[in-house]
Amino acid sequence: MSGAPGFVRVFLMVGYNERRSQPPGNPMTTASTHHDSVRAVEWRDDALMLLDQRRLPGETALLRLENVPAVVAAIRNMSVRGAPAIGVTAAYAMVLAARAIPDCEPAGWLAGMEAARARLAAARPTAVNLEWALAAMMAVAHEHPRDQQALLAEARRIHEADIAGNRRMGELGSALIEPGRAVLTHCNTGALATGGYGTALGVIRAAAAAGKITEVLVDETRPWLQGARLTAWELHREGVPARLIVDSAAPLFMASGDVGWVIVGADRVAANGDVANKIGTYALAVAARYHGIGFMVVAPTSTVDLATATGADIPIEQRDGAEVFGDLDLPASVAVANPAFDVTPAALVDVLVTERGVLRMPDTAAIAALMSGPGVGGV
Concerning whether 267 is annotated as a catalytic residue, the answer is: yes
CA geometry: angle at 26 spanning 125 and 241, to 5°? Answer: 85
Nearest residue to 237 via CA among 22, 12, 17, 30: 22
What pLDDT does residue 328 have? Answer: 83
pTM listed for this prediction: 0.85
Containing 278, the helix (H) or strand (E) segment is strand 275-278
CA-CA-CA-CA torsion for 294, 198, 178, 236, nearest 10 degrees? 110
pLDDT at 157 over 50: yes
Using CA atoms, how far apart are residues 359 and 366, in angstroms rounded to an integer? 7
What pLDDT does residue 14 have? Answer: 36
Using CA atoms, how far apart are residues 195 and 85, in angstroms rounded to an integer? 5
Domains and CATH numbers, the chain: 8-165 (1.20.120.420), 170-378 (3.40.50.10470)
Q: What is the pLDDT of residues 48-63, one digit of tens each?
A: 999 999 999 988 899 9
Using CA atoms, how far apart are residues 353 and 174, in angstroms rounded to an integer? 10
Distance of CA 85 to the CA centre of its chain: 6
- String of DSSP letters for 34-98: TT----SEEEETTEEEEE-TTTTTT--EEEEE-SHHHHHHHHHTTSS-SHHHHHHHHHHHHHHHH
Using CA atoms, how far apart are residues 38 and 274, in angstroms rounded to an integer? 30
What pLDDT does residue 173 have? Answer: 98
Among the residues of the chain, which ranges form H helices?
Answer: 68-76, 83-100, 106-121, 128-143, 148-174, 200-209, 226, 232-238, 250-255, 281-290, 322-325, 364-372
Using CA atoms, how far apart are residues 209 and 177, in angstroms rounded to an integer? 12
pLDDT at 313 over 50: yes
Q: What is the pLDDT of residues 249-297, one digit of tens each?
A: 999 999 999 999 999 999 999 999 999 999 999 999 999 999 999 999 9
Are the C-beta atoms of residues 28 and 62 closer than 8 Å to each other? yes
Environment class of residue 87 by beta-carbon count within 10 Å: exposed (0-12), middle (13-18) or buried (19+)? buried
Q: Which of 36, 267, 305, 350 is catalytic?
A: 267
What pLDDT does residue 73 have? Answer: 97
Using CA atoms, how far apart are residues 121 and 116, in angstroms rounded to an integer? 9
CA geometry: angle at 207 spanning 201 and 212, to 5°? Answer: 140
Using CA atoms, how far apart are residues 242 and 367, in angstroms rounded to an integer? 33
Label residue 7 by pLDDT band (50, 70, 90). Answer: very low
Q: What is the pLDDT of residues 184-213, one digit of tens each?
A: 999 999 999 999 999 999 999 999 999 999
Are the C-beta atoms of residues 202 and 167 closer than 8 Å to each other? yes
